[in-house]
Amino acid sequence: MQYWLFKSEPSTWSWDDQLAKGDAGEEWDGVRNYQARNHMRTMKIGDLGFFYHSQKDKEIVGIVEVIAESHPDSTTDDERWDCVDIKAVKTVTKPVTLAEIKENERLSGMVLVNNTRLSVQPVSADEWRIICNMAGVK
DNA sequence: GCCAACGTTGGC
DNA sequence: GCCAACGTTGGC
C-alpha cells in the first residue's frame, strides 16, 4: 500500500468535479511529465492519495483512491503518456494548507514543499498519518 | 502580475 | 551529448 498526492488547479479540475464523478471516478489525465507518469505507473488499485488544490487555495481538500492502474491517457495519441483512474473517497473535515504543512517540522521533507511543481507525488506513511490527523480524517 | 524553479526542446 | 533558449507551473 502506497500513498500519493495529486495536485490540480481548481479551475481545471476541482475536488467538486471529482466528487461529482462518484464511485465511477475519472482518469487523472493530462499529465505530461515523466516523473509524475512514472509515479502513476507504480500505483496499485486501492492505493490512497491526497487531493491538493494548487494556486488560489493551496490546501489538501480530499482523499482519493486508485481504482484503475496505469493505462494510456485517452486525451492524447502520444503513447508516452499513461494515467490511472481515481475516485473521491471522502472530503476532509478540515483542509490542510500549504502554510500549515511548511510549519510542521516533521513534514519538511515532503515533495510538496521541496518540488512544488511535481503534480503527482509520493507521500510516506508517516506523512500520511500526520496530515490525516491535521485534517480530522479518521 | 511577477518571477523563480524546473523540465523540455532543438541546434550544434 | 551538451547546453542555451524557451515554456510552464505555482507560490507569493
| Domain A3-135 indexed as CATH 3.30.365.10 | no
Query: Which positions in strand C are less than 7 Å from the protein's CB atoms?
Result: 8-12
Q: What pLDDT digit, counting tens, does each position of A25-66 carry?
A: 999 999 999 999 999 999 999 999 999 999 999 999 999 999
Q: What pLDDT digit, counting tens, does each position of A82-118 carry?
A: 999 999 999 999 999 999 999 999 999 999 999 999 9
C-alpha cell at A111: 515533495
Q: Where are the domains of chain A?
A: 3-135
CA atom of A97 to C1′ atom of C2, Å: 41
C-alpha cell at A19: 466528487
Strand A48-53 relative to strand A3-8, pairing: parallel
User: What does pTM read for this prediction?
Assistant: 0.94
Q: Which residues touch strand C (CB under 7 A)?
A: A 7, 9, 54-55, 58, 98-99, 102, 116-119
Q: Whose grid coordinates read 488544490?
A: A53
User: Within chain A, what is the greatest distance between any pair of CA atoms?
Assistant: 43
CA atom of A36 to C1′ atom of B10, Å: 24
